[in-house]
Amino acid sequence: MRIIGLIIVVVTGALLIYAATDFPAWSDPASPASTYLSPYYIEKTMEETSVPNIVTAVLADYRGFDTMFETTVIFSAGVVCFFLLRIPRREEPEIRYYRHVLTGVTIQLKEGYKIPPSADFERIDAVWTPPDLIIKTGCRILIPFIQLFGLYVIAHGHHSPGGGFQGGVILGASIILLAISHDLRTAVRRMSEKLIAILCAVGVSIYAGTGALCLLLKQNFLDYSALAGVLHVDPITARSHGILMVEIGVGIAVLATMIWIYNNISSAGRYRQGL
């Protein structure tokens, strides 16, 4: 297999190098990629949408249909991970491990017996390390600021690099940090599985719902100037607000999908213990 792989790679590389001699020189302002359609986007974005960040305006307004299906792809990836890995709870009786806090003795209870929550016994995972106070306290202090920064990135996507995807991933990463520094059980108690699945679908439907709202207001699908009547502003500012609404939808969908995929992969579907 290695020799076949080597031959294929060398032949493809030679073909690509032969084709690359025809490419325009690097960073040439007159190359065909820079003179065909992008001058229109650069010059007309401020007049038509009043959003200074050209990439956000093109992503959410001029090419908004593309972004809607990308959000659907990310939602379906979360659903596929759930279907591949999740094992329902009733298949095997649960074995619980408890640890006496004062003496350090570990107890194993089979067949689903449990001790009611008390101050003497704490529940631990099968693979257990003593909790580190510095990591737990540091992450507890840091997570609200990470979430605040994620919300800032979503809201400020019009004027600085950022937008829906980046902010959504940062928000999802804050909950993943909670699951890594504490238990997976603590993070699931904060954001339950049902809430994450519903949030994922709500994000996609906010995006499609904005487009359908524009359709109901007698314009094209995802043509945000139809929102001028609803929001009582002129059509150019209505496009800016429409971009903000779909970015919020994208952010919610991405946040929920990242947490969902992490929960399923790190517990291999059982939701008993994480990393």
Partner 1 sequence: MTDLISTVVAKYNYWIYITLMMIGLYAMIAKNNLVKKIVGMNIFQTAIILFYVSIGVKKGATIPILEHAHGHEHHVVHAVDYINPLPHVLMLTAIVVGVATLGVALALAIRIYNNYNTLEEDEILAQIREK
Partner 2 sequence: MIWPIDLAILTLVVIASIGALMVKDLLGAAILFGSYSFMMCLLWSIMGAVDVAFTEASVGAGVSTVFFVAAVFRTSRRTKD
Binding site for partner 1 (CB under 8 A): 1-2, 4-6, 8-9, 12-13, 16-17, 20-21, 23, 25-29, 31, 33-34, 37-39, 41-43, 45-46, 50, 52-55, 58-59, 63, 66-67, 70, 73-74, 76-78, 80-81, 84-85, 159-161, 165, 254, 257, 261, 264-265, 268
Closest CA to 156 of 270, 240, 85: 240
Check binding of 197 to partner 2 (CB under 8 A). no
Residue 157: name the closest of 56, 46, 47 by CA: 56
Pattern 50-79, binding to partner 2, x per CB under 8 A?
---x-xx-----------------------
What's the closest the beta carbon of residue 157 comes to partner 2, in angstroms?
A: 9
Rg (CA), the chain: 25
Which residues share a beta bridge with 109? Answer: 96
Which residue, 165 or 207, has its beta carbon nearer to partner 1? 165
Q: Is 27 in the site for partner 2 (CB under 8 A)?
A: yes
Toward partner 2, which CB reaches closer, 202 or 265?
265
Query: Under the criterion CB under 8 A, does residue 129 sit at the interface with partner 2?
Result: no
Give the dihedral sign, CA 46/52/58/64.
Answer: negative
Q: Is 209 exposed, middle or buried (0-12, 13-18, 19+ CB in 10 A)?
A: middle
Among candidates 248, 267, 255, 251, which has minimal Cα distance to 197?
255
- Integer Cα distance of 175 and 154 in angstroms: 17
> Which residue is it, tokens 């593309």?
66
Residue choice 163, 203, 211, 251 for contact with partner 2 (CB under 8 A): 163
Q: Judged by CB, which is closer to partner 1: 73, or 141?
A: 73
14 binds partner 2 (CB under 8 A): no
